[in-house]
Amino acid sequence: MRLGGLILPEHPGPRAPQVWQYAEQLGLAHAWTYDHLSWRTLRESPWFEAMTTLASAAAVTRTIGLGTLVASPHFRHPVLCAKQAMTLDQLSGGRFTLGLGAGGPGADAEVLGTRQLSQSELADRFEEFTRLCDLLLRAPEVTFHGRWYDAVDARSLPGCVQRPRLPFAVAATGPRGMRLAARYAATWVTVGDARALEEQDERAAFAALRAQSGRLAAACAAEGRDPATLRRLAVLSRFVPDPYSSPGRLAELLGRLAELGVTDAVIALPRPDGVFAGDRAAFERAVGQCSGG
């Protein structure tokens, strides 16, 4: 089990690099940031752009993996997204993973003034977005004309450090998204079950993960892929409200995830208050015991 950290892009100016260095010093295997333009209860608080934040992180770290959790088609075009991802892979020396998701409801879906899409349209757009990102990161030049996106002689030089391209981490719970994960991704991402977290029903959260794992195996079979070749990342802070209340608590949760085939877990670095608030000392004790797996 590899343990990683979720870092919200809310640290301004000179403070921004410090939190990424902190995550690396703790021995975390990877660190991620949300790709939103604003987010839920923090919409009126400082919030910075994800790719730029990760460029700062790449410059001040040496070993920790970095990624988006997850990049959204709501406000990104595949040509620019792929160019940013390629740049981050170069800046980090091959430590970047492009996390991708279809995009959910909320401010990000409306910020560009576009109409609200149906679930079927969101899935269609996400499939095309992922396919075009894959093409752009594999080939030095791409021309593509689709329903949602166009690319005309788009160049991606010098290309990725990681070959044949940098890895994708695809967030998905439905059958079409899981098929995309099986087709394109190195890692499948799940944030669990929203209702289970809201109700703080831990048993329901893990039952939902078990069901999702079964659907993922079916998606891999449909794509002719061995499920064992696909890593599985669970955002533990979205599964349970107190993942590091004690070192034993975190270790127990990671063990339960591993039993369900999860290879990577992510917990949010504690904030002083509000969403993901937590005790820094308790976090450090728990991570110190568990981050070496």
3-class SS of residue 98: strand
Count of CB atoms within 10 A of residue 273's CB? 8
C-alpha distances out from residue 205 to 75, 76, 148, 176, 228, Å: 30, 31, 34, 22, 23
CB atoms within 10 A of CB 152: 10
Q: How many CB atoms lie within 10 A of CB 18?
A: 11
Q: Given this model, what pLDDT does residue 206 score?
A: 93
Q: What is the maximal distance between C-alpha atoms in the chain?
A: 54
Residues of the chain with pLDDT under 70: 12-16, 292-293
In 10 A of CB 255, how many CB atoms?
Answer: 12
What pLDDT, on a 0 to 100 scale, did the predictor assign at position 198? Answer: 74
φ, ψ dihedrals at 67, nearest 5°: -170, 165
pLDDT at 15: 64
pLDDT of residue 293: 43
Under a CB-based contact definition with an 8 Å cutoff, are residues 72 and 35 in contact?
yes
User: From its phi and psi, is residue 219 left (phi > 0), alpha (psi between -120 and 50) or beta?
Assistant: alpha
**In 3-state terms, what secondary structure has residue 189?**
strand
Structure-token match 């070496």, residue found: 292
Query: Nearest Cα to 106, choosing from 25, 34, 178, 5?
Result: 34
* CB-neighbour burial class of residue 133 (10 A; exposed 0-12, middle 13-18, buried 19+): buried
Residues recorded for the chain:
293
Q: Which amino acid is at 133?
A: C
Predicted local distance difference test score (pLDDT) of residue 125: 97
Distance CA 170, CA 72 (A): 11
User: Residue 239: CB partners within 8 Å, gap ≥ 6?
Assistant: 191, 192, 196, 197, 202, 205, 206, 209, 253
